[in-house]
């Protein structure tokens, strides 16, 4: 699995003309599920996201996690994170899992994040969405689960 994590002052996602999820201070997390990913990848990634120390402490050092600051996480499914754009001008998406394989793992990630004690909001899996946010920092990270493929197959 692959995640793009962005620290935000606020974020919201709209699907089908309605706000599907919104948060104040916290993390906007785009998540892509790759071919061959597993529940172990979802659990590992959720633990990593919940405990990333990317919020400032009193000394202005990045020492606090979203849990530490009582922030929220807005999760948006995004198969394009698994794109391979090394050749040509049109990315290949063969590393992204098919929807029927990706949905249960996306849900496992959401459940694992919830078990970490983080307030979770989400978009609609597989929908066309509009995402609005205000970056804080900016602080952005790309994280691949250790067992995730993250490569074109």
- Block means of pLDDT (10 residues each) for the chain, length 153 residues? 98 96 98 96 98 97 97 97 94 95 98 97 95 97 81 41
Question: What pLDDT is recorded for position 148?
Answer: 65
Question: What pLDDT is recorded for position 28?
Answer: 98
Domain assignment of residue 103, yes or no: yes
**Count of H helices and E strands in the chain?**
2, 8
Domain assignment of residue 126, yes or no: yes
Domain assignment of residue 19, yes or no: yes
pTM value is 0.94
Phi, psi of 148 (to 5 degrees): -65, 155
Domain assignment of residue 14, yes or no: yes
Domain assignment of residue 79, yes or no: yes
* Domain interval for residue 127: 2-144
Tell me whether residue 81 is exposed, middle or buried, using C-beta atoms within 10 angstroms of its C-beta: 0 to 12, 13 to 18, 19 or more: buried
Instruction: Provide the domain count of the chain.
Output: 1
Domain assignment of residue 150, yes or no: no
Domain assignment of residue 54, yes or no: yes
Domain assignment of residue 149, yes or no: no
Question: What pLDDT is recorded for position 151?
Answer: 46
Question: What pLDDT is recorded for position 147?
Answer: 76
Q: Residue 130 is part of a domain; what is its CATH number?
A: 3.50.80.10
């Amino acid at each position: 699995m692959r995640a793009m994590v962005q620290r935000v002052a606020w974020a919201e996602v709209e699907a089908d003309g309605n706000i599907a999820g919104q948060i104040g201070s916290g993390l906007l997390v785009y998540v892509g599920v790759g071919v061959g990913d597993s529940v172990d990848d979802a659990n590992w990634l959720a633990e990593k996201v919940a405990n990333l120390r990317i919020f400032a402490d009193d000394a202005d050092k990045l020492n606090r996690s979203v849990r530490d600051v009582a922030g929220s996480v807005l999760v948006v499914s995004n198969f394009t994170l698994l794109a391979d754009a090394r050749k040509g001008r049109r990315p290949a998406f063969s590393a992204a899992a098919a929807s029927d394989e990706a949905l249960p793992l996306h849900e496992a990630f959401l459940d694992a994040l919830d078990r970490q004690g983080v307030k979770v909001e989400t978009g609609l899996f597989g929908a066309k969405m509009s995402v609005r946010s205000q970056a804080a920092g900016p602080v952005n990270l790309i994280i691949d689960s250790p067992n995730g493929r993250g490569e074109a197959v």
